[in-house]
Protein backbone atom coordinates (compact mmCIF):
# COMPACT_ATOMS: atom_id res chain seq x y z
CA UNK A 1 0.00 0.00 0.00
CA UNK A 2 1.40 3.36 -1.06
CA UNK A 3 1.66 5.74 1.85
CA UNK A 4 3.19 9.18 2.08
CA UNK A 5 3.74 11.15 5.27
CA UNK A 6 4.64 14.82 5.20
CA UNK A 7 6.26 16.66 8.08
CA UNK A 8 8.24 19.77 8.85
CA UNK A 9 5.53 22.38 8.58
CA UNK A 10 5.59 25.13 11.16
CA UNK A 11 5.10 28.81 11.81
CA UNK A 12 7.87 30.78 10.15
CA UNK A 13 8.63 34.46 9.81
CA UNK A 14 8.78 36.16 6.42
CA UNK A 15 12.23 35.64 5.01
CA UNK A 16 12.70 32.48 7.03
CA UNK A 17 13.31 28.91 5.95
CA UNK A 18 11.70 25.53 6.44
CA UNK A 19 12.51 22.06 5.21
CA UNK A 20 9.63 19.71 4.58
CA UNK A 21 10.01 15.96 4.43
CA UNK A 22 7.94 13.33 2.69
CA UNK A 23 8.53 9.77 3.83
CA UNK A 24 7.28 7.05 1.54
CA UNK A 25 6.31 3.53 2.42
CA UNK A 26 4.80 0.60 0.60
CA UNK A 27 6.75 1.12 -2.61
CA UNK A 28 10.23 1.74 -3.91
CA UNK A 29 10.72 5.49 -3.92
CA UNK A 30 12.35 5.54 -7.35
CA UNK A 31 9.32 3.84 -8.93
CA UNK A 32 7.32 7.07 -9.04
CA UNK A 33 7.93 10.70 -9.61
CA UNK A 34 7.21 12.63 -6.43
CA UNK A 35 5.63 16.07 -6.50
CA UNK A 36 4.92 18.70 -3.90
CA UNK A 37 1.77 20.74 -4.10
CA UNK A 38 0.04 23.05 -1.69
CA UNK A 39 -3.43 24.27 -0.97
CA UNK A 40 -4.47 27.31 1.00
CA UNK A 41 -7.99 27.76 2.36
CA UNK A 42 -10.46 28.73 -0.36
CA UNK A 43 -7.73 28.59 -3.00
CA UNK A 44 -7.01 26.13 -5.76
CA UNK A 45 -4.35 23.52 -5.40
CA UNK A 46 -0.95 24.65 -6.71
CA UNK A 47 1.70 22.33 -8.00
CA UNK A 48 5.14 23.41 -6.83
CA UNK A 49 7.81 21.01 -7.98
CA UNK A 50 8.39 17.44 -9.02
CA UNK A 51 11.36 15.11 -9.06
CA UNK A 52 11.50 12.05 -11.25
CA UNK A 53 12.11 8.57 -9.95
CA UNK A 54 15.28 7.12 -11.36
CA UNK A 55 16.82 10.06 -13.15
CA UNK A 56 16.10 12.66 -10.44
CA UNK A 57 15.29 15.34 -12.96
CA UNK A 58 13.54 18.27 -11.37
CA UNK A 59 10.69 20.38 -12.65
CA UNK A 60 9.49 23.54 -10.95
CA UNK A 61 5.97 24.36 -11.95
CA UNK A 62 5.75 27.93 -10.78
CA UNK A 63 8.12 30.80 -11.40
CA UNK A 64 7.36 32.30 -8.00
CA UNK A 65 9.07 29.37 -6.25
CA UNK A 66 12.07 29.00 -8.53
CA UNK A 67 15.20 29.96 -6.67
CA UNK A 68 13.43 29.83 -3.32
CA UNK A 69 12.29 26.20 -3.14
CA UNK A 70 14.45 23.18 -3.81
CA UNK A 71 13.17 19.64 -4.19
CA UNK A 72 15.46 16.70 -3.59
CA UNK A 73 15.21 13.03 -2.74
CA UNK A 74 17.12 10.41 -0.81
CA UNK A 75 16.04 7.03 -2.10
CA UNK A 76 17.94 5.22 0.63
CA UNK A 77 15.90 7.04 3.26
CA UNK A 78 12.77 6.87 1.07
CA UNK A 79 12.35 10.57 1.62
CA UNK A 80 11.71 13.54 -0.63
CA UNK A 81 12.47 17.00 0.68
CA UNK A 82 11.28 20.49 -0.08
CA UNK A 83 13.70 23.10 1.16
CA UNK A 84 12.00 26.47 1.31
CA UNK A 85 13.79 29.76 1.87
CA UNK A 86 12.86 33.43 1.74
CA UNK A 87 9.36 32.48 2.80
CA UNK A 88 6.53 34.88 2.09
CA UNK A 89 3.08 35.18 3.64
CA UNK A 90 1.58 33.93 0.40
CA UNK A 91 3.42 30.64 0.94
CA UNK A 92 1.03 29.91 3.80
CA UNK A 93 -0.77 26.68 2.95
CA UNK A 94 -0.95 22.98 3.66
CA UNK A 95 1.78 21.23 1.73
CA UNK A 96 1.38 17.75 0.32
CA UNK A 97 3.65 15.32 -1.46
CA UNK A 98 2.17 13.05 -4.07
CA UNK A 99 3.11 10.28 -6.44
CA UNK A 100 2.90 10.73 -10.18
CA UNK A 101 3.70 8.38 -13.05
CA UNK A 102 5.84 11.16 -14.46
CA UNK A 103 6.43 14.81 -13.72
CA UNK A 104 4.21 17.30 -15.44
CA UNK A 105 1.35 19.67 -14.79
CA UNK A 106 -0.91 17.41 -16.82
CA UNK A 107 -0.08 14.34 -14.80
CA UNK A 108 -2.60 13.38 -12.11
CA UNK A 109 -1.60 12.93 -8.53
CA UNK A 110 -2.03 9.28 -7.68
CA UNK A 111 -1.58 9.22 -3.92
CA UNK A 112 -0.81 11.85 -1.32
CA UNK A 113 -0.45 12.20 2.40
CA UNK A 114 -2.32 14.21 5.00
CA UNK A 115 -0.19 17.27 4.47
CA UNK A 116 1.85 19.52 6.70
CA UNK A 117 0.83 23.04 7.58
CA UNK A 118 3.10 25.99 6.81
CA UNK A 119 2.22 29.41 8.16
CA UNK A 120 4.32 32.42 7.29
CA UNK A 121 3.61 35.40 9.49
CA UNK A 122 5.49 37.95 11.58
User: H/E/C letters for each residue in 40-97?
Assistant: CCCCCCEEEEEECCCCCCEEECCCCCCCCEEEEEECCCCEEEEEECCCCHHHCEEEEE
Look at residue 75 and tell me whether its pLDDT is greater than 90.
Answer: no
Rounded mean pLDDT of 22-29?
Answer: 90
Average pLDDT of the chain to the nearest whole number:
93
Over range 49-68, report the average pLDDT. 86
Span 52-58, mean pLDDT?
84
For residue 99, the surrounding DSSP H or E stretch is strand 93-100
Other C-beta atoms lying within 10 Å of the C-beta of residue 92: 17
**pLDDT at residue 33, as a whole number:** 94
- pLDDT of 94 higher than 90: yes
- DSSP code for 104: S
Amino acid sequence: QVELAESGGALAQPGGSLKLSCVASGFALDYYAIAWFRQAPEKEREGIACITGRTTNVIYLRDSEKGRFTISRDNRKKTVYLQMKDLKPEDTATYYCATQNSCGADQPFLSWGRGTRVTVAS
